[in-house]
Amino acid sequence: MDETVLDGNAIGGLLIEVFGTEMTTAVGTCGSCGATSQVAELAVYMPGLGTVVRCRSCEAVLMVFVRIRDVTCVDLMGLASLS
Amino acid sequence: MPPVSRGFHRKRQEVPADRVPPGQYVTRDFPVLSAGPTPRTALSRWTFSVEGGHEPKSWTWEEFRALPSEKLTTDIHCVTRWSKLDTAWEGVSLDVLLTGLEHDASYALAFSDGGYTTNVPVADLLGGKAWVAFGYGGGPLGAEHGGPARLLVPHLYFWKSAKWVRGLRLLAEDQPGFWENYGYNMYGDPWREQRYEGD
Amino acid sequence: MAGTAVRGRLNTWLTATVGAVSDETARVRTLRLEVPGWAGHRAGQHVDIRLTADDGYQAERAYSIASAPGEPLAITVERLDDGEVSPYLTEEVREGDELEVRGPIGGYFVWEPSLSAPLLLAAGGSGVVPLRSMLRERLRAGSTVPVRLLYSSRSLDDVIYRKELDAAPAGVEVIHALTRSQPPGWTGYARRVDKRMLAEVAWPAAPPDGASKPLAYVCGPTSFVEAVAAGLVDLGYPPVRVRTERFGASGL
């Protein structure tokens, strides 16, 4: 059991910064396995270098956020959709 | 300018600056920082392979552990600013793994269980500078710290020391790995504070 | 437009002045925050706190809101030994100090009095903070939904909001699980939460016809949340009626 894994609640503020609105109840569809989940329930890893959000079903990377010198790089390519 | 919070400061350094690279603080912990779940590959299925040479090379766990290995004590430096001094490791040198392997590569991309990758020049893997480590602190390397084996390249920022390493892809051109793709430095020398692209 | 204005406020760092601070336990402190322009919050939400050192260094952390909607904003912080921010907030900070606040944040782990389902609240350590906000909101709104709070702590001395929980109003039952040490004569649970304990404490997943199915909110260290959520689903709770908020590793 990985003690350090969080969930989408932990990145609520980051998501508001990136999307301009509350996103924890948005529904994401995994581009790899098709599983759907509210963002609040996704697996979130924050190793300090960036934030990696993964599908709880298949562990595929759905979103990556990296903040360097006040610019946040946002990679949503693992999601089939986010609404 | 945001309001200053009286009395707040970053964690302080306790050791002389020549022992610790710029911008780092010393910790006695060994933080577990991962971008994904801890893989649990059975040793019976574990292999370490080197691809991209004139011939592919691969070792099973038994073959890998039969190679000459060595113990070393070294400092490690994470780009998130913590440094840990005098860490004790045991592993197989990359000099041993790459001995006799013919290739034209100047760069390598290390790959791990779970999909993590990171790039290191071949020159930085040779000459007693890098290991595939299976032991830490006098015992087997724990899964949360990259066991059964991780890459260990202590002269570069620690994100280059890929946990759960399964092999190297030898390349003619440098290729960004997972974090490098998002703006982390392609090389990562802590003494020149090469944290990000452009440093 | 009202919508745009709300988004602007959510994404803005506001200056907060620390008001009264009170120690809940040896490691846990509640801080009142005075924030001009604060728009209020919903029970269960959190705020991001940002500290700036005099050399410009900044650190941000998220903390659950301990107060109910309509009450003065307060957060409760647990000191993590190897932390950078929590030792500052629990030991150094004084009334009158300034920090920055962003929020309120969260639309998933929230409770409103309009929800009529019986509540099962499960707290691991400092996971009790957002649940306490829900309990205070329930009281403030005059809600009569039955509540069971299963609260796991290392010892009685580590129970946060102990007096308040001992005086819980009618309809709220607090069940403690003390995992490391218990006072003499303790007859309550003396172990970590497990399936057997959940089966004894949780509202039945399938109540008699017509009654609302219970709603569960689980908050605390990741291992606690995973164990409780899985246990409740095993007891028949639909996953959609088990809301979770993970706080990462801790010393529970």
Q: Could B2 and C58 be called an inter-chain contact, meaning their C-beta atoms sit closer than 8 Å?
A: yes
Compute the half-sphere exposure of residue C17: CA atoms within 13 Å on the CB side of its CA.
6
Asked if the model's pLDDT at residue B91 lies above 60, the reply is yes
> pLDDT band at residue C37, thresholds of 50, 70 and 90?
confident
CB-CB under 8 Å, B3 with C100: yes
- What's the confidence (pLDDT) of residue C2? 40
Tokens 């920055």 appear where? C100
Task: Break chain C down into helix, strand, coil percent, rounded to 5.
Answer: 25, 30, 45
Would A78 be classed as within a structural domain? yes
Nearest to C73 by CA among C23, C19, C126: C19
Residue A34 predicted with pLDDT over 90: yes
Region at B17 (left for phi over 0; alpha for psi -120 to 50; beta for the rest): alpha
Spatial contact of B184 and B196, defined as CB atoms under 8 Å apart = yes
Instruction: Check pLDDT > 80 for residue C250.
Output: no
For residue B25, what are the β-bridge partners? Answer: B82
The dihedral over CA atoms of C29, C30, C31, C37, expressed in degrees to the nearest 10, equals: 150
- Region C35-53 average pLDDT: 95
Residue A14 structure tokens: 């980051």
What's the pLDDT at A47? Answer: 96
| Residue B182 touches chain A, beta carbons under 8 Å | yes
Distance of CA B110 to the CA centre of its chain: 9
CATH of C119-246, picked from 3.40.50.80, 3.40.50.300, 3.60.15.10, 3.20.20.210, is 3.40.50.80
Partner-chain residue, chosen from A5, A17, A40, that has the shortest CB–CB distance to C109: A40
For residue C6, pLDDT beyond 70: no
DSSP assignment letter at B192: G
What is the structure's pLDDT at C211? 83
Q: Which amino acid is residue B15, in one-letter code?
A: V
- Interface predicted TM-score (ipTM): 0.95
pLDDT at C42: 98
The kind and range of the H/E element at A19 are: helix A12-19
Nearest by CB to B38, from A2, A49, A54: name it.
Answer: A2
Residue B150 pLDDT exceeds 90: yes
Q: Is the bond preceding B16 in cis, omega lying within 30 degrees of 0?
A: no
Domain of A54, in residue numbers: 6-82
Question: CA of A30, closest CA in chain B: separation in Å?
Answer: 16
| Average model confidence (pLDDT) across chain B | 95
- What average pLDDT does this structure show over A32-48? 97
Quote the number of domains for chain B.
1
pLDDT at residue A13 tops 80: yes
Q: Is pLDDT above 80 for A33?
A: yes
Looking at chain C, the domain(s) classified CATH 3.40.50.80 span 119-246
Would you state the pLDDT for residue B1?
A: 82
Q: Which of A38-42, B161-165, B178-182, C53-57 bottoms out in mean pLDDT, i.e. has the lowest?
A: C53-57
Q: Indicate whether A56 belongs to any domain.
A: yes
Q: What's the rounded Cα separation, in Å, for the pair C60 and C52?
A: 9
Among B1, B4, B8, B11, pick the best mutation site for testing chain C contact (most C Cβ within 10 A).
Answer: B8
pLDDT at C176 over 60: yes
Give per-residue pLDDT as tens, B94-134.
999 999 999 999 999 999 999 999 999 999 999 999 999 99
Does a structural domain hold residue A53? Answer: yes
Tell me the mean pLDDT in the region B167-189: 98
C28 pLDDT higher than 60: yes
Q: Report the C-alpha gap between C154 and C156 in whole angstroms.
A: 7
Percentage of chain B beyond pLDDT 70 is: 98
Is residue B101 within 8 A of residue B50, CB to CB? The reply is yes
C74 forms bridges with which residues in the sheet?
A: C32
- Residue-level pLDDT at B135: 98
Rg (CA), chain C: 18
* pLDDT, average across residues C25-47: 96
Cβ contact, residue pair A21, C7, below 8 Å = yes
Kindly compute the dihedral angle of the four CA atoms of residues C117, C123, C128, C133, in this order, to the nearest 10 degrees.
-10
pLDDT-derived band at B11, boundaries 50, 70, 90: confident
Evaluate whether C244 touches A7 at the Cβ level (below 8 Å): yes
Residue C8: predicted pLDDT: 57
Query: Which two three-digit tokens encode residue C238?
Result: 């639909």
Neighbours, chain B (3 or more CB pairs < 8 A): A, C
CATH number where B182 lies: 3.90.420.10
The C-alpha of C50 sits at a distance from chain B's nearest C-alpha, in angstroms, of 9
With a cut of 60, say whether residue B85 has pLDDT above it: yes
User: Do the domain assignments include residue B10?
Assistant: no
Contacts of C48 in chain A (CB under 8 A): 13
For A9, which of C7, C102, C108 is closest by C-beta distance?
C108
Q: What percent of chain B has pLDDT over 90?
A: 90
Q: Does C248 touch chain A (CB under 8 A)?
A: yes
* Cβ atoms A50, A63 nearer than 8 A: no
For residue C248, what pLDDT is reported?
77
Taking CB atoms and an 8 Å cut-off, how many pairs form between chains A and C? 73
Q: How many domains does chain A have?
A: 1
Per-residue pLDDT at B189 exceeds 60: yes
Q: Kind and range of the H or E element at C14?
A: strand C14-23
pLDDT digits (tens, 9 = 90+) for C11-24: 789 999 999 999 99
User: What range defines the domain where residue B186 resides?
Assistant: 45-192
Q: What residue type is C157 in one-letter code? A: D
User: Considering the domain boundaries, does residue B126 fall inside one?
Assistant: yes
Q: pLDDT value at position C9?
A: 65
pLDDT of residue C174: 98
On the 0-12 / 13-18 / 19+ scale of CB atoms within 10 A, C244 is buried
Do C88 and B8 count as a contact with CB atoms less than 8 A apart? yes
Q: Which residue of C has its CA nearest to A45?
A: C248
How many Cβ contacts (< 8 angstroms) between chains A and B? 55
Which CATH number is C2-105 given? Answer: 2.40.30.10
Task: Give partners of A (≥3 CB pairs < 8 A).
Answer: B, C
pLDDT at C221 over 50: yes
Q: Do A52 and B115 touch (CB under 8 A)?
A: no
Task: State the average pLDDT over residues A17-40.
Answer: 96
Q: B196 and A71 in contact (C-beta within 8 Å)? A: no
CA B33/CA B30 separation, integer angstroms: 9
Nearest beta carbon to residue B182 from set A2, A59, A73? A73
Model confidence at B13, in pLDDT bands (50, 70, 90)?
Answer: low
Instruction: Tell whether the model's pLDDT for residue C202 goes beyond 70.
Output: yes
In this structure, are residues C151 and C228 in contact, taking their beta carbons and an 8 Å threshold? no
- Cβ separation A38–C106 shorter than 8 A: no
